[in-house]
Chains A and B, each alone.
Chain A
Amino acid sequence: MVPREDTAAAATMESYFDDVAAALDGLVAGGESYTAWFSGEASEFVRFNRGKVRQPGTVVQRYVDVDLILGARHASHRLSLSGNLAADRERLRAAVASLRAALPDLDPDPHLLVATDVVSTRAARGGPLPPVDSVVDAVLGAARGEDLVGLYAGGPIYRGFANSSGQRNWHETQSCNLQWSLYLRSDKAVKSTLSGFAWDDALLSAKMDAARASLAQLALPAKTLAPGKYRVFLSPAALEDIAGLLSWGGFSARALETRQGSLSRMRSTDGGGAGALLDPRVTISEGTARGVAPAFQSEGFARPAKVALIEGGRLVGALVSPRTAREFSLTANGANCDEAPESLEMAGGALHASEALDALGTGLYIGNLHYLNYSDRPACRMTGMTRFATFWVEEGKIVAPVNVLRFDDTIFRMLGENLEALTTETELILETGTYRERALASMRLPGALLSELAFTL
């Protein structure tokens, strides 16, 4: 079964967006200008539970955010589009008219920064995906006999930008993402992900086999650890959760300028003293060139291939949106308004991943973390839970799964004084989020060996 609008959309969505932009060109009046951000997708979703199909569905959606600018006054309108150009032209006309009516009510915006360099780009990645019933066959066939729960999300994702200066940017990705867990009992499970730009049956089989092997380890009697400090190895997936929390304001220039960022202590102190440091081996950047996010942001500014954030353990940069650039006299560097990384990269170290358990010796191997939050944001102290495949290791060998534990520690200890090693290999982890739309973001991370991590519950 081939999703009809999926294949049609892949061929026509870009030209549809060009038509939307052309309609906007015709709607702006003298002295006015506009920017338009487009996001769309034609997605197949299949939700699994107990090795069966719980909810299969398709979602076709198109949204455009139009910002109408007159002098320093501007206002924006986000509207859903139907895909029917005649009807959508009418929606655009009504939206622009309502924005035009709003402008006299608004003060001039002192922090408006408009992209004036016209840099048009086009990028397309990925090819056709198999029909969803074939995917279901493959997944449930590979997991036969297991308690599988998870989600398949596949199909094209589109991002576009246009403005009245004639700039056009298009970013199209045909991708699939299968996230699943095999459950042994209660909360004992192995989580796996198969993400990419093409469906790969062989890789699915290999990953399912690996998950089954881990299930066997989870069948060992579980160990309950008392609160305390333990030596740990964080897998790249576990480090992704930590980096994900850091991305919530940690690298935001606005948060740093207003002392609200979780890494604010890495800046010089009020008295001009040196800021806090991480281990010199910690180097973090926003690496758009090697990620999956568009090379342009929602107001049309191009993204540099790389923005250095932490080098040699020192905070050396931040993500600066156009608005923050204007407010604090900084230079914008391609960030969206939330100033969160979309292609975060952390450099690897000297520990080969194959030697991680030996290097850990005795301690915790943490496969995944869960539900992180700041317990003291200005100190960058964070708390969260272990989840899925987390094991007690003795002399480099897994000896027992571990019942869930709560950690509560600062990034300055985790990636500072307590960091023993980073793995040489880094793993590209595609963002699997589906809130409102399928995400287009990624992280490239190593694993991390810590001499201790504080557990509290």
Chain B
Amino acid sequence: MPDADRFSLSDLPPLRVAADYWSLRWVDEARESYAVRKNVALPFHASRDRGAMATVHAHGGYGYAATGDTTPAGLAAALERAAELARATARFALVDSRTLPRSAARGEYASPAARVQARSRRDWYELLMRESRAAPPDPRIVDWDAGADVVDTTHRLVTSEGGDVVQHFRFLLAGMSVTAHAGGVTQTRTLNGHRGICQQGGDEILGRFAFDGAMRRIAEEALELIGAPNCPSGTMDVLLMPDQMILQIHESIGHPLELDRILGDERNFAGTSFVTPEMFGTYRYGSDLLNVHFDPTVGEELASYGWDDEGAPAERVHLIRNGILERPLGGATSQLRAGLPGTSNARADNWNRPPIDRMANLNIEPGDATFGAMVAGIERGVLMETNCSWSIDDSRNKFQFGCERGRLIDNGKLGAVVRNPNYRGISANFWRSLASVGDAGTVQVLGSPYCGKGEPSQVIRVGHASPACVFRNVAVFGGEQ
């Protein structure tokens, strides 16, 4: 049985069904997971997931068939099944597949350190156990853990136009968490959120985030939080750190700009968008300080690649320039449907789901404000870090987000730590209140392995890089005391 990167087109029997275009997309993903909880090593877990999706355009219709059988016979059968579906549903097709672009892309892409020998199993457990044991022996600490996943993935896309793209990815997903409890108050602190360290590459990623030694710091912060006052309520400024900014970008810029949402595909599930096609080119999305790129070319960022899953080459493009909305997040099919320019972001989370519009890497460009200057410029406000709660309406407009840790800012100075900092707003107004954008020294390259969307549903990796940012006059509030 040939693996994805060893398969040759000559292995495939000729298609029996006429097709205008076809593609085969293999995914072969190996994962090793390590975790230590409360100084107990959790059982080692590995996985290997291999399969392929056949896609066929025939008679103006479109069909896909996904199979775990990647023998030549299995792939041929999947192509036949996809062709049958394309023919059977062609008269109801939303899009005439004869008009869709066909990929002839050829090439290879690899993550940083994609082929470097990973840290050994023993070394992982030693590192994670050392961190776990660094949690202070305080009875108020009721739970803690550290863990990491190392993921090696190969994608290959072969098309009837002669396209042949092979991409090798190495992902590292790591995190740690501490929960403290006393006097009826429970607080959890993490390192940038669950699996908050997520980039492409090898061990160097841990160094970027000072993973070694982080457990003691977040444990002390969890203990501090259970004794901290509740976040005050009122209208005030917020200084959002990068590990909250990524959620703000994701939910209130990324999803509303997805062209398939704007075209209505997601209305039964993930939702629609307050953004409409006529807004592109003129709509003021945010203040002049807001500059947003779709950028799948940042080597270490989680959703970087050479080509998307339909074979469109990865390119960095401006989505929002000086606050004005320029283009949506839409792959070639959506671009054709909407008559708008887009991005190379038709992506699938695995071999068993079809490509749809995803945000990949979505980054805010740094400004020129130092962290100190941003704090100094706030008369009354709250610094918030590390997202722990997220909710937004189906048009991606009315949102409410919560963070693990806050710090009061009074008259330009950082003050006391507060717990349960939350804020709410409306996307269409919120970005216009962007008052200050941090400089490159405040930027972190982060992301999430858990972006959910689609029917059938998919969980995909997305990257977000952001500086710290200040927003004026935001509705802030705390928890239930």
Across the interface, which residues of B come within 8 angstroms of A269, CB to CB?
A: 184
Partner pick for A49 among B49, B70, B84, B94, CB 8 A cutoff:
B94
| A189 contacts the other chain (CB 8 A) | yes
**Interface pick from A120-128, A148-156, A202-210, A306-314:** A148-156
- Check A52–B43 contact: CB distance below 8 A: no
Across the interface, which residues of A come within 8 angstroms of B94, CB to CB?
A: 49-50, 52-54
**Interface pick from B85-93, B156-164, B282-290, B378-386:** B85-93
Complex alpha-carbon distance, A406 and B40, angstroms: 42
A257 CB → nearest B CB, Å: 8
Sort A-B residue pairs by CB-CB distance and give the 7 closest, nearest first.
A376-B479, A379-B480, A57-B64, A434-B456, A151-B455, A52-B94, A78-B47
Complex alpha-carbon distance, A106 and B86, angstroms: 50
Query: How many chain A residues have a CB neighbour from B under 8 Å?
Result: 97
- Check A53–B400 contact: CB distance below 8 A: no
Across the interface, which residues of A come within 8 angstroms of B457, CB to CB?
A: 433-435
Partner pick for A258 among B42, B179, B420, CB 8 A cutoff:
B179
Complex alpha-carbon distance, A75 and B33, angstroms: 10
- Check B424–A95 contact: CB distance below 8 A: no
- Check B389–A373 contact: CB distance below 8 A: yes
- Check B424–A133 contact: CB distance below 8 A: no
A76 CB → nearest B CB, Å: 5
Chain B positions within 8 Å of A, measured between CB atoms, are 1, 40-51, 61-71, 74, 77, 81-82, 84-86, 88-89, 92-95, 121-122, 125, 142-143, 179, 181-186, 188, 263-265, 267-269, 271-272, 350, 352-354, 389-395, 398, 400, 402, 420, 422, 424, 426, 452, 455-459, 479-480
Complex alpha-carbon distance, A10 and B444, angstroms: 50
- Check B41–A404 contact: CB distance below 8 A: no
- Check B65–A258 contact: CB distance below 8 A: no
Across the interface, which residues of B come within 8 angstroms of A99, CB to CB?
A: 46
| A280 contacts the other chain (CB 8 A) | no
- Check A457–B424 contact: CB distance below 8 A: yes
Given A1-B88, A75-B46, A179-B268, A105 and B69 contact (CB-CB distance below 8 Å)? no
Output the residue of A63, A132, A457 with the most chain B CB within 10 A: A457
New A-B pairs, 6, CB < 8 Å, besides A58-B81, A58-B85, A435-B457: A52-B94, A75-B46, A79-B48, A107-B40, A183-B267, A371-B393
Across the interface, which residues of A come within 8 angstroms of B47, CB to CB?
A: 77-79
- Check B268–A81 contact: CB distance below 8 A: no
Given A49-B264, A56-B62, A87 and B181 contact (CB-CB distance below 8 Å)? no
| A169 contacts the other chain (CB 8 A) | no
Partner pick for B82 among A1, A57, A77, A78, CB 8 A cutoff:
A57
- Check B424–A149 contact: CB distance below 8 A: no
Given A62-B68, A434-B455, A54 and B269 contact (CB-CB distance below 8 Å)? no
Question: 1/0 contact trace for A109-136 toward B, CB 8 Å?
Answer: 1111000000000000000000011001
Partner pick for A84 among B46, B71, B121, B459, CB 8 A cutoff:
B71
Complex alpha-carbon distance, A58 and B54, angstroms: 10
Partner pick for A82 among B62, B71, B89, B400, CB 8 A cutoff:
B71
Please name 9 pairs of A and B residues whose Cβ atoms are closer than 8 Å in the assembled complex, sorted by A. A43-B456, A55-B354, A78-B49, A82-B1, A106-B125, A179-B269, A259-B143, A373-B389, A434-B457
Partner pick for B85 among A50, A54, A56, A151, CB 8 A cutoff:
A56
Across the interface, which residues of B come within 8 angstroms of A79, CB to CB?
A: 47-49
A12-68 at interface with B (beta carbon < 8 Å): 43, 45-47, 49-50, 52-63, 67
Output the residue of A54, A82, A265, A404 with the most chain B CB within 10 A: A54
Question: 1/0 contact trace for A350-392 toward B, CB 8 Å?
Answer: 0000000000000000000011111111110101110100000
A61-106 at interface with B (beta carbon < 8 Å): 61-63, 67, 74-84, 87, 91, 95, 98-99, 102, 105-106
Given A270-B183, A435-B452, A52 and B66 contact (CB-CB distance below 8 Å)? no
B393 CB → nearest A CB, Å: 4
Given A50-B264, A371-B394, A132 and B66 contact (CB-CB distance below 8 Å)? no
Complex alpha-carbon distance, A143 and B354, angstroms: 25
Complex alpha-carbon distance, A17 and B222, angstroms: 47
Across the interface, which residues of A come within 8 angstroms of B272, CB to CB?
A: 186-187
- Check B391–A373 contact: CB distance below 8 A: yes
Q: Which residue of A lies closest to B32 (CB)?
A: A102
Given A58-B66, A259-B142, A384-B391, A150 and B268 contact (CB-CB distance below 8 Å)? yes
Given A111-B40, A189-B267, A408 and B395 contact (CB-CB distance below 8 Å)? no
Complex alpha-carbon distance, A56 and B181, angstroms: 50
Complex alpha-carbon distance, A179 and B457, angstroms: 13
Q: Which residue of B lies closest to A269 (CB)?
A: B184
Across the interface, which residues of B come within 8 angstroms of A181, CB to CB?
A: 267-268
- Check A259–B44 contact: CB distance below 8 A: no
- Check B265–A61 contact: CB distance below 8 A: no
Complex alpha-carbon distance, A133 and B61, angstroms: 13
Complex alpha-carbon distance, A106 and B126, angstroms: 11
| A456 contacts the other chain (CB 8 A) | yes
| A247 contacts the other chain (CB 8 A) | no
Across the interface, which residues of A come within 8 angstroms of B122, CB to CB?
A: 105
Q: Which residue of A lies closest to B87 (CB)?
A: A1
| A195 contacts the other chain (CB 8 A) | no
- Check A264–B267 contact: CB distance below 8 A: no
Given A4-B81, A57-B64, A76-B46, A404 and B393 contact (CB-CB distance below 8 Å)? yes
Across the interface, which residues of A come within 8 angstroms of B51, CB to CB?
A: 61, 80
Across the interface, which residues of B come within 8 angstroms of A183, CB to CB?
A: 264, 267
Across the interface, which residues of B come within 8 angstroms of A1, CB to CB?
A: 84-85, 88
Given A82-B74, A136-B92, A259-B179, A375 and B81 contact (CB-CB distance below 8 Å)? no
Complex alpha-carbon distance, A258 and B38, angstroms: 11
Given A58-B85, A133-B89, A375-B402, A47 and B121 contact (CB-CB distance below 8 Å)? no
B159 CB → nearest A CB, Å: 17
Complex alpha-carbon distance, A370 and B64, angstroms: 30
Partner pick for B185 among A140, A149, A378, A457, CB 8 A cutoff:
A378
- Check A52–B391 contact: CB distance below 8 A: no
Q: Which residue of A lies closest to B80 (CB)?
A: A4
B90 CB → nearest A CB, Å: 9
- Check B43–A59 contact: CB distance below 8 A: no
A429 CB → nearest B CB, Å: 16
Q: Which residue of A lies closest to B1 (CB)?
A: A87
A384-414 at interface with B (beta carbon < 8 Å): 384-385, 387, 404, 406, 408, 410
- Check B49–A385 contact: CB distance below 8 A: no
| A164 contacts the other chain (CB 8 A) | no
B89 CB → nearest A CB, Å: 5
- Check A57–B66 contact: CB distance below 8 A: yes
Complex alpha-carbon distance, A57 and B348, angstroms: 14
A264-303 at interface with B (beta carbon < 8 Å): 264-265, 269-270
- Check B391–A385 contact: CB distance below 8 A: yes
Across the interface, which residues of B come within 8 angstroms of A75, CB to CB?
A: 43-46
- Check B49–A46 contact: CB distance below 8 A: no
- Check B88–A133 contact: CB distance below 8 A: yes
